[in-house]
Structure 1
């Protein structure tokens, strides 16, 4: 289970109640964040793929169902391209094939993203919520908003007012990667693509494009949801994921 930029392995906690009765789940902190070793050089997607494969080796797993969210979805795609024999199935959530589709500046990403870095701590938390949730799920009341930010922080693995130190390195790795020319090679791997209707970080059109590019892929779109759908809409996401895994 591979997470996105700046998110720790705790980001998968909402999936565990649905999956652990059926599967052994391995979630981890990507290189440079959380309890993983700090890095002093640029991070690349191939490095992150090798990290995931090394963790599988450490568990003695020849193969596994690979699940990725956001940047983790890009890592999952590249892992399947580089080590197809180790992939039982793919689940790609709120992600893209071409990294720049998630990192290039749109007005929303620029103005909201800037506010996650500057200003008061409550203001930065509000901007972060606006990045990952649809507008109707961001409370107008400051106290309710603070409570929600505190709750989500336990899943993201950090105070939403602060970015992990290596988040920029991970963003740069994402921006530099592109699996889109190679997705048709993933034909035959059971693949589920989940997108969120209102996602402004990995818009649903890019999820649809991935599903169309991988022969036989299944596509599910969560209505009214945004980039944080696997956390805040876990019920719907988990139904789709569990059904996919049990059939694969």
Structure 2
């Protein structure tokens, strides 16, 4: 599906499309942009809706894009502890109900994949398809899961520091060093995008979300998914290696696997055109 006419995200004034809404007595920040069938974008741990900026202009040519700051992330208020992944899923479903969206395709990156799977399990009639991007919920050993959670805690603790965030925006060399684990090529994170991502990175709900993700990852059963599933994975992901994607593909009956070459854990940033094309091909197929 073509999206060559999409403007670059820096050419768009996003202010009118970024909104706040009370959902379960908590303020939720989200972007509502474009027209067509609903496409919900759920970011990974410690991130925010802006992680999808490279993709939203293309996706919004064919979809009403709802990109959410999950509770406690970005500029959304945190849930009361314990903030379980199922509660995150319920919060997003409640937001969609308030917006009058009866069904949607849900895209989940990393931790957002756990939330997307929980949404599909809780509301099979409202989730028409899932797109899991280097996602949580893949089969892995308890040791590897514990290592990933430890790495995420450590990385976020470092990136929460003001001087570190400022250096990530200003210094390409520092970005290369600090983001090597999450990106195959950290230079694909532009200074403009870093300036959007870093000020709201690792929000107040981060600590709770790490623990909740660990509990959900151990309990998630991807084989129970009933809707069509597209799995998009970075070939050089060192956090969740591509063999995890193959295991997930094998476990989910109605699934398709797209591996994007020479990118790491965030293919939507490292290879936005290939990522957006895979998403649009999947949604166009119905």
Match of 1:153 in 2: 194
* Residue from 264, 273, 276 that aligns with 1:238: 276
Please report the TM-score for the alignment, with normalisation by the length of structure 1: 0.82
Higher RCO, 1 vs 2 (CA within 8 Å, ≥6 residues apart): 1
Question: Are 1:112 and 1:127, in contact at CA under 8 Å, matched by a contact in 2?
Answer: no
**How many residues get paired?**
235
Q: Which runs of 5+ in 2 are unaligned?
A: 1-40, 169-173
- How far apart, CA to CA, are the structure 2 residues paired with 1:180 and 1:40? 21
More strand by share: 2
- How far apart, CA to CA, are the structure 2 residues paired with 1:102 and 1:52? 29
Q: How does 1:72-151 map to 2 (within 5 A)?
A: 72-98=112-138, 103-105=145-147, 109=151, 113=155, 116=159, 121=164, 122=167, 127-134=177-184, 137-138=185-186, 148=189, 150-151=191-192
- How far apart, CA to CA, are the structure 1 residues paired with 2:50 and 2:67? 8
- How far apart, CA to CA, are the structure 2 residues paired with 1:54 and 1:111? 29
- How far apart, CA to CA, are the structure 1 residues paired with 2:161 and 2:211? 20
What's the RMSD between the two structures over aligned residues?
3.0
Please report the TM-score for the alignment, with normalisation by the length of structure 2: 0.72
Question: Are 2:73 and 2:202, in contact at CA under 8 Å, matched by a contact in 1?
Answer: no
1:31-71 deviation line (CA, Å, top 9, x unaligned) = 01222124452321011001110111011111111111110
More helix by share: 1
> Quick check: 1:202 aligned with 2:252?
no
- How far apart, CA to CA, are the structure 1 residues paired with 2:152 and 2:81? 26
- How far apart, CA to CA, are the structure 2 residues paired with 1:207 and 1:219? 8
